């Protein structure tokens, strides 16, 4: 496999290979290997899964099965902020679909897409378990209740500022 065709940084691929080589039993350490790969690349695209499969002598289908089974792995690039808009019944009847559309429009992404600046992922989720304060939005671990479309700009602004403060 020509690593240049993967479109992934060769130094990071070497780091991953070196990490994998530290394990005698690669199969029983595959979760750790996948976590390491996601930590350095930010996500686990199909090409990277195939590369890992070859280095571990495991079928690519097995690697993909693990990646798609566990919610902490992602095949898509992810931003610093994961925005989950609840579309469960209680939130949906309070017009959370309009709220989802407001986030998508404001950040210029499709559902489950990455914002143009690479900072936000916008997703719909079936239920966040906070039906009494719907419609509900979760940004990473922070829950916002009774959210209206006009609140979207401010929520985004708060998190952009949070990132700027963290950089200082």
Residue numbers belonging to the annotated binding site: 86, 91, 127, 131
Q: Annotated binding residues for [2Fe-2S] cluster, as ranges?
A: 86, 91, 127, 131
β-pair partners for 85: 124, 137
Beta bridge partners of 84: 123, 138
**C-beta atoms surrounding 59 within 10 Å:** 10
Tally: H helices and E strands in the chain: 7, 4
User: Measured between alpha carbons, how far is 62 from 68 in angstroms, rounded to an integer?
Assistant: 10
The two structure tokens encoding residue 32: 């750790």
Strand 137-139 with 142-144, pairing: antiparallel
What is the rounded distance in angstroms from the CA atom of residue 112 to the CA atom of residue 94? 21
């Amino acid at each position: 496999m020509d690593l240049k065709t993967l479109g992934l940084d060769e130094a990071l691929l070497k780091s991953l290979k070196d990490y994998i080589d530290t394990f005698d039993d690669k199969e029983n350490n595959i979760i750790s290997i996948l976590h390491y790969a996601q930590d350095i690349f930010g996500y686990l695209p199909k090409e990277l899964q195939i590369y890992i499969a070859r280095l571990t002598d495991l079928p690519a289908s097995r690697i993909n099965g693990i990646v798609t089974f566990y919610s902490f792995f992602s095949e898509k690039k992810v931003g610093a902020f994961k925005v989950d808009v609840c579309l469960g019944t209680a939130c949906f009847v309070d017009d959370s679909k309009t709220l989802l559309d407001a986030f998508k429009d404001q950040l210029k992404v499709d559902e489950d897409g990455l914002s143009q600046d690479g900072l936000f992922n916008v997703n719909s989720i079936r239920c966040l378990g906070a039906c009494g304060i719907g419609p509900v939005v979760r940004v990473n671990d922070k829950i916002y209740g009774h959210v209206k479309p006009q609140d979207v700009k401010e929520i985004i602004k708060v998190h952009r500022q949070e990132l700027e403060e963290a950089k200082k």
